[in-house]
Chains A and B, each alone.
Chain A
Amino acid sequence: MKTINVVINGIPVQLERPMNIVEAAKRVGIHVPHFCYHKELTIYAGCRICMVEVKGKPRPVAGCSTIMSDGMEVFTESEKVIAARKGVLELQLLHHPLDCPVCDKGGECALQDYAFKYGAAQTRFIENKRLIPVNYNNPLLERNMERCVSCKRCVRICAEIQGDWVLSDMNRGSRVTMESFCGDESECVHCGHCLSNCPVGAIQSRLYKHVGRPWYVDTEAETICPYCADGCTMTLQTREDKVLRVVSDETYSKGANRGSLCVRGRFGYDFPNSNERLTTPLVKKDGYFVESNWDEAVAHVAKRLSEIKSAAGPDAIGAVIGGRNTNEEAYLLQKFMRTAVGTNNIDNMARMGHINALNALEAAFGVAGSTNQIKDIAQAKAVLLIGNDAATENPITGLAIKKAVLKGGAKLIVADAGRNMMTKHSSQRLTYRAGSEGELVMGLINAVFATNMHDADLEAKNTSVFDKVRAKAGKYTPAYVSEKTGIPAEDIKRAATVFANAKPATIVFGKGITATADGFGKSLALADLAFITGNVGKPGGGINPMASKAGEQGACDVGALPDRLPGYRKVSSAEDRKRLGGLWKSELPENPGMTVGEMVEAAGAGKLQAMYVVGANLAYELPDTKNTVEYLKKLKFLVVHDIFMSETAQLADVVFPAATFAEKSGTFTNSERRVQRIAPAMKLQGGARPDGEIIAAVSAKMGRPMDWEPAVVMEKISVSTPIYAGITYDTLAGGGVQWPYYEEMKSGTAVLHAEGVTGRADNTDAGVGEGAALAGKVFPFVADITVSLYHSGTTTRRTRGPNMVVGKALAGMNPSDASGLGIADGDTVVVRSSTGELRLPASIDKAVPSGVVHIPAHFADVCAGTITGLVLDPAGKTPVARYWPVAVTKA
């Protein structure tokens, strides 16, 4: 494309592509006022504040909707323009309440700024102000339509980016208001896009109401959301070491989320301020916690661990790190276990599912990570979303999928056993019987081969792999799969056709696959499907596994795994042990260690005597709560780091108060392999310390001092962890890096295997198992235990925002199931399994398939682990706990 030469306010500007006047002016630092324009939204051109003068045109034109052409000369602040702009402001101020002193937008309001700049304070019209009561229909937002400038940005962002279309402009002219249908905000998912995008104070956060002013903020830090593994970039603003609020990136360009956030990130920010925070090390004496100090507590832990180590051997000690911890902390913990303690008994909470995906992708393509990047999904022409509710579990990935559908016209196939909030955007919904997800995937592969829709060129280069996959899928004919899954054969064929014919097509999957029996084999089958359709190595294609928590991918990457050293090097490899041992000046233990589930079992059997648990709430997150608690109680010594007195901390002998993400540095690696930095926005609270510092202190006391400053640790990681080579805090500045990083190009890798991929036939033996029906006579329902959009565990339970929307667990049930059992909405139901029972109110929800009860995890009073058992899948040793057979009765 030929460059376009234009002149803006006398400054010559070269544009490499056509763009509107507002954007072109931005290039040379000129701000053209605008209300309704937003670069990510369709052009509305309704507010007229962006008027500019174009040489040769009789009247001013709208800068947002006028595309610059070669030779155009524009004046953005000429007399004529200013007169036009004043006119627009005069009309706006006619109705505007001018209540700036009590409006939280004051200081960052476009109307205030423009009125100030252009001095259009007087009006020649006589008109009544609009009197519209503030609308409090939304638990987190207040809508003050007197202040609205009718720019419709809220309406458009909710419809176009969030994809929920909760709001519309109701009525017209001076009576227009931005509202939900009859004021019913039940469709709102509280993402806050409308809030962050309103140029004035018409939409405000009820959490932030009268909390602060922009100039009241004393510290702000660009950081990463600590909740899910989408890893959103956001800015945390604090004053006097209290979090004031979270704001999203106004440039809509940074990180994986590019300006978007979900309710957890945007409103789940105040747990660092909680007065329930642990503030001092606690040591249990005679069954009661006694406040201790750091020196004493650290010495005590080192002494007890050393004693147990010398009495029962290092393998009598195990450690687990949770999903909220940084890469550096996970690295330090595994190094501590492998050197100071001398065991490979180290695991992280990716064991709850994600590890299966990583192992499968490594087996299939050689790299234990997502093949693509989240924003890439928007380019896909078809998306197979299976066993993952992207709208709830990883909402930013959900937005990318919605973008593919809404902007790119992609076909979305939603395959799930339970409720899936992405269904409304799908062109096809496949509801399989819980447990039969593997058969469905094999059925899709079978159908692709049966109609020769696979990539024939790729087959020519990979004949043996293709043969093997073809043979494996042989028995999964549509008729067979239909019988197993309950999905009509025609639907399976149709889905296969849509997926195979779309180029590129991508797969997004999560715990509905990985946390079920044979999660490894099922993940592998998905990798095969991506491979045979020729989608691997293509932007917009590939396969994207969704980790659950912010720290899961990274903890695996840096070796917090019992069978893997940093960078997925195998513990069983003498060469890798030697190399790493050389770096660490230590001889590394050669027996693979125990996974978290095995550790708990071994604790029950008395084989494991001590555990060191960092930020993982095992007594709550693991299945089979009753036995888990009992087994943990049998430990001779339990150390827990946590922010709060979690269920697990209560069982501990020593509890260390940990710093939150808001107080420390470090990195998280998100689901798309993007290593990103978090930065402190406040001082350490109470006596809390960063987990890394605590681990290093204990390690030093045990004779192995370690550096714990995160930047230094990252330097060490980049040496010891080959996939992180070249990654330092400097390379991570400005949006993070998707590993592997290439120094020559100064960039990470958005799409893996772009140079071509060869399947690894030798590794692809695992099958998908027999998805025997879970529901039976005694337990006729299947509990689908999933995360809630509003909660993710110990931390969200201590935040006001999410609790203002969803404060308690509800059992979602299909209307027909409910009426069959005489259950009405709100009735208390008993959900009973072979291991225990839960009592909670029912929520009648037609999005829940018949035969399924939807049980949200992560509520304090309703612990889903009560109704599940600890069953470890043989391949990944992952607890199989996503679906559990239950009976439901009215209480």
Chain B
Amino acid sequence: MIKLSDKTIAAIEENATRYPDRNSVLMFGLWKAQEELGHLSPEAIEAVAEAVRVPRAKAQGVATYHSLYWKKPVGENVIMLCTNVACTLMGAETILEHIENRLGIKEGHTTPDGKFTLQEVECIGSCGYGPAMVINETFYFDLTINKIDDILAKL
């Protein structure tokens, strides 16, 4: 069983004061635990559930719902490429293929050097500027193959 750091627990408790219902803290707690631990293993999810005081199945349901929560260890840079309808119409699939070839990994995997993780995600709210992606906390849009090469080269 993982123990969350005092800092994470304190952050969860502080956050809990902002809502009438502790359930509201769950997403924040998962996020903080991910920050601390790198990814959300089942043990980490269980620790968050205990700290927030929600059933562990509920915490796992929320953690597995959102693609921003990483259930497996990830690389230094996480590429989250939207392959939802609008982006796909704008060529997201070609982009995906290109990244896969460039990095030599399939979607959902991490490069052996631990530098990149590639992940398909659902709509990231930028349908007008597709194809779009998020790497770490930076947002990229109007993607083309050249643009991708530039971006990845700089990381």
User: Which of A168, A171, A173, A182 makes the CB contact (< 8 A) with B58?
Assistant: A168
Determine the chain A residues whose CB is within 8 A of the CB of B60 once the complex forms: 168, 170, 181-182
State the Cβ distance, B26 to closest chain A Cβ, in Å: 12
The verdict on A180 contacting B122 (CB below 8 Å), with A172-B64, A172-B65 known, is no
The verdict on A165 contacting B55 (CB below 8 Å), with A181-B42, A181-B60 known, is yes
Residue from B46, B55, B56, B64 with most neighbouring chain A CB atoms (10 Å): B55
User: Which of B57, B65, B122 makes the CB contact (< 8 A) with A181?
Assistant: B57
Q: Is A169 among interface residues, defined by CB-CB distance under 8 A?
A: yes
State the Cβ distance, A856 to closest chain B Cβ, in Å: 26
> In the bound complex, how far is the Cα of B58 from the Cα of A164, in angstroms?
11
Contact with B along A154-181 (1 / 0, CB 8 A): 0100010000111111111100000111
Q: Is B125 among interface residues, defined by CB-CB distance under 8 A?
A: no
Asked if residues B57 and A180 are in contact (CB atoms below 8 Å), the reply is yes
- Closest residue of chain A to B122, judged by CB? A173
> In the bound complex, how far is the Cα of B66 from the Cα of A170, in angstroms?
10
Asked if residues B64 and A159 are in contact (CB atoms below 8 Å), the reply is no
Asked if residues A181 and B56 are in contact (CB atoms below 8 Å), the reply is yes
State the Cβ distance, A120 to closest chain B Cβ, in Å: 23
> In the bound complex, how far is the Cα of B45 from the Cα of A610, in angstroms?
64
Asked if residues B58 and A165 are in contact (CB atoms below 8 Å), the reply is yes
> In the bound complex, how far is the Cα of B120 from the Cα of A173, in angstroms?
13
Asked if residues B122 and A168 are in contact (CB atoms below 8 Å), the reply is no
Interface residues of A in 178-194 (CB under 8 A from B): 179-182, 187
- Closest residue of chain B to A152, judged by CB? B61
Interface residues of B in 1-48 (CB under 8 A from A): 42, 45-46
- Closest residue of chain B to A182, judged by CB? B42
Asked if residues A170 and B46 are in contact (CB atoms below 8 Å), the reply is no
The verdict on A170 contacting B64 (CB below 8 Å), with A181-B46, A182-B42 known, is yes
The verdict on A170 contacting B55 (CB below 8 Å), with A181-B42, A181-B46, A182-B42 known, is no
The verdict on A166 contacting B57 (CB below 8 Å), with A173-B122, A181-B42, A182-B42 known, is yes
> In the bound complex, how far is the Cα of B64 from the Cα of A170, in angstroms?
6
Dominant secondary structure at the B interface = helix
A-B contacts, 24 of them at CB < 8 A, read A159-B55, A159-B58, A164-B55, A166-B55, A166-B57, A167-B57, A168-B55, A168-B57, A168-B58, A168-B60, A169-B65, A170-B60, A170-B64, A171-B64, A171-B65, A172-B64, A172-B65, A181-B45, A181-B46, A181-B55, A181-B56, A181-B57, A182-B60, A187-B57
Interface residues of B in 36-85 (CB under 8 A from A): 42, 45-46, 55-58, 60-62, 64-65
Determine the chain A residues whose CB is within 8 A of the CB of B62 once the complex forms: 168
Contact with B along A251-272 (1 / 0, CB 8 A): 0000000000000000000000
Given contact pairs A165-B55, A166-B55, A168-B55, enumerate 20 new A-B contacts (beta carbons under 8 Å): A164-B55, A165-B57, A165-B58, A166-B57, A167-B57, A168-B58, A168-B60, A168-B62, A169-B65, A170-B61, A170-B64, A171-B64, A172-B64, A172-B65, A173-B122, A179-B57, A181-B42, A181-B46, A181-B56, A181-B57
The A-B contact count (CB < 8 A) is 38
Determine the chain A residues whose CB is within 8 A of the CB of B58 once the complex forms: 159, 165, 168
Determine the chain B residues whose CB is within 8 A of the CB of A159 once the complex forms: 55, 58
- Closest residue of chain B to A424, judged by CB? B55
Determine the chain B residues whose CB is within 8 A of the CB of A155 once the complex forms: 61
Q: Interface size bucket, A side?
A: 10 to 19
Determine the chain B residues whose CB is within 8 A of the CB of A167 once the complex forms: 57
- Closest residue of chain B to A163, judged by CB? B55
Determine the chain A residues whose CB is within 8 A of the CB of B42 once the complex forms: 181-182
> In the bound complex, how far is the Cα of B122 from the Cα of A165, in angstroms?
28
Determine the chain A residues whose CB is within 8 A of the CB of B55 once the complex forms: 159, 164-166, 168, 181
- The 7 A-B residue pairs with the shortest CB-CB distance, nearest first, are A168-B61, A165-B55, A168-B57, A181-B56, A181-B57, A170-B64, A171-B64
State the Cβ distance, B102 to closest chain A Cβ, in Å: 26
Determine the chain B residues whose CB is within 8 A of the CB of A180 once the complex forms: 57
> In the bound complex, how far is the Cα of B60 from the Cα of A281, in angstroms?
58
- Closest residue of chain B to A171, judged by CB? B64
State the Cβ distance, B59 to closest chain A Cβ, in Å: 8
Determine the chain A residues whose CB is within 8 A of the CB of B45 once the complex forms: 181
- Closest residue of chain B to A165, judged by CB? B55
> In the bound complex, how far is the Cα of B64 from the Cα of A167, in angstroms?
13
> In the bound complex, how far is the Cα of B56 from the Cα of A181, in angstroms?
6
Residue from A168, A169, A173 with most neighbouring chain B CB atoms (10 Å): A168
Determine the chain B residues whose CB is within 8 A of the CB of A187 once the complex forms: 57
> In the bound complex, how far is the Cα of B61 from the Cα of A173, in angstroms?
12
> In the bound complex, how far is the Cα of B66 from the Cα of A169, in angstroms?
12
> In the bound complex, how far is the Cα of B56 from the Cα of A159, in angstroms?
12
State the Cβ distance, A479 to closest chain B Cβ, in Å: 32
> In the bound complex, how far is the Cα of B61 from the Cα of A165, in angstroms?
11
- Closest residue of chain B to A180, judged by CB? B57
Contact with B along A240-252 (1 / 0, CB 8 A): 0000000000000
Determine the chain A residues whose CB is within 8 A of the CB of B64 once the complex forms: 170-172
> In the bound complex, how far is the Cα of B55 from the Cα of A170, in angstroms?
13
State the Cβ distance, B63 to closest chain A Cβ, in Å: 9
State the Cβ distance, B21 to closest chain A Cβ, in Å: 11
Determine the chain B residues whose CB is within 8 A of the CB of A173 once the complex forms: 122
> In the bound complex, how far is the Cα of B99 from the Cα of A820, in angstroms?
58
State the Cβ distance, A221 to closest chain B Cβ, in Å: 36
Determine the chain B residues whose CB is within 8 A of the CB of A165 once the complex forms: 55, 57-58
- Closest residue of chain A to B63, judged by CB? A170
> In the bound complex, how far is the Cα of B148 from the Cα of A30, in angstroms?
57
Residue from A155, A170, A171, A181 with most neighbouring chain B CB atoms (10 Å): A181
State the Cβ distance, A212 to closest chain B Cβ, in Å: 32
Determine the chain B residues whose CB is within 8 A of the CB of A181 once the complex forms: 42, 45-46, 55-57, 60
> In the bound complex, how far is the Cα of B62 from the Cα of A180, in angstroms?
13
- Closest residue of chain A to B43, judged by CB? A182
- Closest residue of chain A to B61, judged by CB? A168
> In the bound complex, how far is the Cα of B55 from the Cα of A169, in angstroms?
13
- Closest residue of chain B to A172, judged by CB? B65
- Closest residue of chain A to B66, judged by CB? A172
> In the bound complex, how far is the Cα of B122 from the Cα of A128, in angstroms?
19
> In the bound complex, how far is the Cα of B65 from the Cα of A159, in angstroms?
18
State the Cβ distance, A298 to closest chain B Cβ, in Å: 57
> In the bound complex, how far is the Cα of B64 from the Cα of A159, in angstroms?
18
- Closest residue of chain B to A179, judged by CB? B57
Contact with A along B101-123 (1 / 0, CB 8 A): 00000000000000000000010
Asked if residues B122 and A169 are in contact (CB atoms below 8 Å), the reply is no
> In the bound complex, how far is the Cα of B69 from the Cα of A170, in angstroms?
13
> In the bound complex, how far is the Cα of B46 from the Cα of A182, in angstroms?
10
Determine the chain B residues whose CB is within 8 A of the CB of A168 once the complex forms: 55, 57-58, 60-62
State the Cβ distance, B57 to closest chain A Cβ, in Å: 4
> In the bound complex, how far is the Cα of B55 from the Cα of A781, in angstroms?
33
- Closest residue of chain A to B56, judged by CB? A181
State the Cβ distance, B64 to closest chain A Cβ, in Å: 5
> In the bound complex, how far is the Cα of B57 from the Cα of A155, in angstroms?
10
Determine the chain A residues whose CB is within 8 A of the CB of B57 once the complex forms: 165-168, 179-181, 187
Determine the chain A residues whose CB is within 8 A of the CB of B61 once the complex forms: 155, 168-170
> In the bound complex, how far is the Cα of B62 from the Cα of A164, in angstroms?
17
Determine the chain A residues whose CB is within 8 A of the CB of B56 once the complex forms: 181
- Closest residue of chain B to A168, judged by CB? B61
Determine the chain B residues whose CB is within 8 A of the CB of A171 once the complex forms: 64-65
Contact with B along A801-822 (1 / 0, CB 8 A): 0000000000000000000000
